[in-house]
Amino acid sequence: MNRCVGSCLLLVLAALAALLVAIQPSPVNAQVKDVHTQTAHPQQHKPPAKPQEAANAKPKEVMNAWTVGLAGGLLEGAPIRLAAEMARVVDDGDNLHVLPVVTRGPTENVNSLLYLRGIDTAIINSDSLDEYKSVVRDVQSKVTYVLNLFPSELHVFVRPEIQSLGDLAGKKVNFNTQGTAAAYSGPLIFSRLGLDVEQTFIPHQVALEQMRKGEGGMAAVVFVTSKPVDAFVRGRFEPGFKFLAVPYNSKLGDYYLPTTLDATDYPNLIKPGERVETIAVPTALVAFNWPTTSNRYDRVARFVDHLFSRLDKLQGPGFDPKWKSINLAATVPGLARFPAAQAWLDSHPHGSQASQ
């Protein structure tokens, strides 16, 4: 009896299952039905926008349309400070928003400009491009300059027994810690000059102390930074410690500019009336070479117009003194100028020289 009831129950369940399958459309048929329905009545099955998404859609578009990413540099360096000051002065609400970005330094900033999403402009040392030539052969066509910000002078400071660059051959020379301008530009410049030295990369304070005491065989330190350098202005050195001359020649013409050090820079180390020849590495504000028909180009063009038109504000109180010596018309060796920057200069022939 129980066996009969169980068999009947199974038959009933099987029949119900078959009935359900018969009345339920297959997944494929249901999918096709939805497609046809959405085509005939597109608004009927479209899920309504969430209130928050609807409210944020326009502000997102407006904000991103005129935002410019600016790769600055190390948190403790001058470039990121200049980047922050530029962002403050050119800010124009929804019409222009510049985002300064802390990075690993001016050399790494070329990498950021070429490959990092959202970066339109960067502050670099001009010779940073040399590292990319073997990987990006046309790198100088992808990068344009907006502004020559300031020079970073080469300082080759040596012990009394060193009289010329040639005397440094085989000697220990410090180029500061890795990631600094000296650690990149110094060895590159020495290589171009054919100087084979024992390179070290320790903090300059440590190397200078070793030089003073004659310890560790440290013969020289190489700084690449804007003069005057506080370590030489405030430091006290025995007679004979000095800066070596680095004459400008054709081997240095693609990235560097000639300059001098004198007594006004370092009264304790250079006699009045004397000049020490050296070179400078331009630190420049550059932009990716966006197509002139692109929105990214328009963003940078607006940034350039605001920056150049408001330079007088940057030269006022509360900003880095370097702004006072900037010449908008100054060039950067090895690079073409961003077209919108050149157009601004052409239309403002008397507005290119910074006030002194």
- Domains, the chain, in order of start with CATH, read 56-150+283-347 (3.40.190.10), 151-281 (3.40.190.10)
For every residue of 267-295, DSSP letters joined together read TTTS-TT-EEEEEEEEEEEEEE---TTSH
Tell me the residue ranges of DSSP E strands in 120-262: 121-125, 143-158, 172-174, 198-200, 218-225, 242-243, 257-262
Rounded to two decimals, the pTM is 0.74
Query: Token match 């099955």: residue?
Result: 45
Q: Which one, of 128, 142, 158, lies nearest residue 281 by Cα?
A: 128
Average pLDDT, consecutive stretches of 10 residues, N- to C-terminus, the chain (356 residues): 45 41 37 30 41 58 88 87 97 95 86 94 92 84 95 96 97 92 94 96 96 94 93 93 96 92 96 96 95 96 98 95 92 93 92 50
Q: What is the pLDDT of residues 95-129, one digit of tens each?
A: 999 999 999 877 789 999 999 999 999 999 999 88
Q: What is the pLDDT of residues 223-254, one digit of tens each?
A: 999 899 999 999 889 999 999 999 999 999 88
Residue type, 328: L
Angstrom distance (rounded) from CA 215 to CA 134: 39
H helix runs in the chain, sequence order: 2-23, 27-40, 51-65, 78-90, 106-115, 139-142, 181-192, 204-213, 230-234, 295-309, 311-314, 339-347
Angstrom distance (rounded) from CA 282 to CA 51: 51
Between the alpha carbon of residue 315 and those of residues 309, 323, 355, the distances in Å are 12, 5, 8
Is the preceding omega at residue 47 within 30 degrees of 0, hence cis? no
Q: Which one, of 83, 62, 66, lies nearest residue 307 by Cα?
A: 83
